[in-house]
Structure 1
């Protein structure tokens, strides 16, 4: 488990930003997080931003958790945790992180249409740049771990396993959320993916 100083304590409103591209399961991940927070007795506000999600465009979910939450909007520099499902999305949204916030980055690359057409180039030193800018930083190959669990599409659940170690919520609530949000035939696979994410954060 991350050292005590890395765990985000629920003494105030906690802002979590989940960023990825269409098809990566960011919305399901945010619903799992929301279920956990509600089960722990907190108020939750969530908003979604889709940028041609079905074509691999950006998908951003803002989740705010606390005793009294009045708005779902997270402003730049206010995110306690950013979970990036893809390198370039981490790069695009890193400025939303607080100075002492946690950045969790899946090292997967999904090349956007603008790069495929030659209009732009994919940055080559994203991870190195982020490491230099962010103090509380964790990167992992979530796709590899999901494949190990049995399905590459479980990358989102791997990342929720990592996230769980940075939030002051009970393990039981996470397991219950998986049971509620994951189809029964895929539950055991996703529980394995979640466990691999938990282990990656230790």
Structure 2
């Protein structure tokens, strides 16, 4: 069984990313269970998706220390899910900070570099991805979620390959979004090789 967790803030596309992973796994004939925990997502709150892939799955929730593949769209959200990461799990994190609403309201400074330093200390297999480079190459912030899926697929931690994920994109998204998302997915795959 492979346990995957995706974390981000509302509006970053975490739920779509989890649906694409689930569809790609099902296209390969695997059983999948998913669930989301959404906290004030419409207001920039955290969104966490649990995806369990395998033959016999009885619960969609992943236990602490049970995540094999974690994808975080934001550094603070990566820190938030770190207790779920298995000792040999892979943590893919976009290094671009999204300032939380509460931090903005109280005038607090939030620096992604502090979160990334913490992750480097406590995550054995950390794959930091430059959000700035991804955005420059993708040209659309709405496709960053699919780009990070490309990084995850390229890491080899997921039980399917690029073709299954591209097929899921075509099955789940309207046709006019295919080209942008497949291009972003390929950019994410290349970014893994540059880390």
- Output the TM-score relative to the length of structure 1: 0.89
Supply the distance in 2 between the matched residues of 1:68 and 1:121 (Cα, whole angstroms): 45
Worse-superposed segment, 145-154 or 28-37: 145-154
User: Residue in 1 aligned with 2:172?
Assistant: 181
Deviations 1:124-147 (A, max 9, x none): 511111111111110012353144
1:23 aligns with 2:11: yes
Deviations 1:139-165 (A, max 9, x none): 012353144223111000001101112
* 3-state SS of paired residue (1:24): coil
Contact 2:24 2:160 in 1 (8 A): yes
- In terms of fraction of residues, the more helix-rich structure is 2
Report the CA distance shift for 1:146/1:184 in structure 2 as closer, same or farther (over 3 A).
farther
Report the CA distance shift for 1:188/1:146 in structure 2 as closer, same or farther (over 3 A).
farther
1:126 aligns with 2:115: yes
User: Residue in 2 aligned with 1:60?
Assistant: 48
User: Residue in 2 aligned with 1:45?
Assistant: 33
Matches within 5 A, 1:122-161: 122=110, 125-142=114-131, 144-161=133-150
Contact 1:83 1:105 in 2 (8 A): yes
Q: Where does the alignment leave 5 or more consecutive residues of structure 1 unmatched?
A: 1-12
Supply the distance in 2 between the matched residues of 1:144 and 1:128 (Cα, whole angstroms): 20
Alpha-carbon shift at residue 119 of structure 1 (Å): 7.2
Runs of 4+ in 1 over 6 A off after TM superposition: none
Aligned residue among 62, 70, 76 for 1:74:
62
